[in-house]
Copies of this chain bind each other. A is one copy, B any other.
Amino acid sequence: MSLTVVGSVAFDALETPFGKRDKILGGAATHFSLSSSFFTDVRCVGVVGNDFGEEEWEVFRSHHINTDDVEVVADGKTFFWRGRYEYDLNTAHTLETQLNVFETFNPKLSDASKNNRLLFLANILPMLQKEVREQCPNAEFVAMDTMNFWIDSMKEAVIDTIKIVDCVIINDAEARQLADVPNVITAAKKILSWGPKAVVIKRGEYGAALFTADSYFAIPAYPLESVFDPTGAGDTFAGGFMGYLASQEKIDDAAMRRAMIYGSVMASFNVEKFGTERVADLGYLEINQRFSDFKRFTNFEEIPFERANTAV
């Protein structure tokens, strides 16, 4: 086994300008697991209620995602989120949140989950992320996400967790909020200064950027004309990124750059249908096709300019 993710498994109700779904499989750990399952063996750590049905388990099972550490609370209900997106799909409005069994989520990692080579701490209470990270002293590469809610209410706890991970995967606005600076480059450098080896900034339709101590890498997003539902795009990106890294013997700058592309590729599929529908249905041919598209549409020849003649 090689990758463990800890986070939410949920039901979502979604409204976008293009349609709605009343109750579909969602949650950060779900989107992450599904995406990473194309690249590596993944163990999902989470909690669900007795309303989590055969149809939902089948999505995990059919992608060989190990759910031994997904706790089932017999008398509880699964985390439920209802959201609505405006026309431009950039802002999600939360209409309803029922934490249910997730409110008292206390991740219980089996030895197998603790001993995986890579670990992803999806967006949960920062103190819980820290506890989980400390339970996995042998993990070679640990990444985390977080969100504005924790940055607002307990920034110091978020920073304490950042100090003991290898990589922070975070969106643009949250990076600026966390570092308390308006410039995203400055924000990423400040976050790096707290300890992690890498900071990945997610910019939605504008792409993503990777910062390390001595390297910078940036890519546009995959060009899409039909975006249906952005829910889970960030976790799907993280899943592609970490899943690809788990498949590589050496986690160096070159591998992280390719992982950025695979993350973007997976996220580009995720938004094409509701929830997990598109990624659950993916094949390797499509994945590698979009990877190769990325090469094609970012490629240019490096020819330094020399002025042949001047008007002087």
Binds B, one of A99-107, A125-133, A293-301: A293-301
Contact with B along A37-57 (1 / 0, CB 8 A): 011010000000000000000
Chain A 186-232 interface residues, beta-carbon cutoff 8 Å to B: 186, 189, 203, 205-207, 209, 215-220, 223-227
- Give the total of A residues in contact with B, Cβ under 8 Å: 57
For the complex, give the distance between the alpha carbons of A39 and B306 in Å.
8
Any B CB within 8 A of the CB of A244: yes
- Residues of A at the B interface (CB closer than 8 Å) are 38-39, 41, 64, 66, 87-88, 182-186, 189, 203, 205-207, 209, 215-220, 223-227, 244, 247, 254, 257-258, 260-262, 284, 287-288, 291-292, 295, 297-305, 307-308, 310-312
Contact B220 A209 (CB under 8 A): yes
Contact of A185 among B209, B218, B223, B301 (CB under 8 A): B223
Q: Evaluate contact between B223 and A218: CB separation under 8 angstroms.
A: yes
Residue among A203, A223, A244, A288 with the highest chain B CB neighbour number at 10 A: A223
Q: A182-B87, A216-B223, A217-B298 are in contact. Are A305 and B206 (CB under 8 A)?
A: no
Contacts of A260 in B (CB 8 A): 300
Contact call B284/A307, Cβ cutoff below 8 A: yes
Contact of A217 among B182, B218, B224, B297 (CB under 8 A): B297
* Additional 12 contacts, C-beta under 8 A, given A218-B298, A244-B305: A38-B305, A38-B307, A64-B310, A183-B227, A203-B206, A209-B220, A247-B307, A258-B300, A284-B307, A287-B305, A288-B305, A298-B298
Task: Check A305–B247 contact: CB distance below 8 A.
Answer: yes
B-side contacts of A41, CB under 8 Å: 310-311
- In Å, the complex CA distance between A206 and B265 comes to 19
- Closest-by-CB residue of B relative to A207 is B220
**Among candidates B64, B185, B207, B291, residue contacting A311 with C-beta atoms closer than 8 Å:** B64
Q: Which residues of B contact A224 (CB under 8 A)?
A: 183, 185
List of 10 A-B pairs having minimum Cβ-Cβ separation, nearest first: A218-B220, A206-B206, A257-B300, A64-B311, A295-B302, A288-B304, A216-B297, A185-B223, A41-B311, A186-B225
B contact residues around A223 at 8 Å (CB): 185, 209, 216, 218
**Contact: B304 with A292, CB < 8 Å?**
yes
Q: How far is the CB of A86 from chain B (nearest CB, A)?
A: 10
- Name which of A220, A254, A262, A312 has the most chain B CB atoms within 10 A of its CB: A220
Give chain B residues whose Cβ lies under 8 Å from the Cβ of A261. 300
16 A-B pairs (CB sep. < 8 Å): A38-B305, A41-B310, A87-B182, A183-B226, A207-B220, A209-B223, A216-B223, A217-B297, A217-B298, A218-B223, A218-B297, A219-B298, A220-B220, A258-B300, A258-B303, A292-B304
Q: Shortest CB–CB separation between residue A42 and chain B, in angstroms?
A: 9
Do B64 and A305 touch (CB < 8 A)? no
Q: Smallest CB-CB separation from A203: which chain B residue?
A: B206
Residues on B with C-beta less than 8 A from A88 are 182
Taken together as a complex, chains A and B put the C-alpha atoms of A267 and B230 apart, in Å, by 31
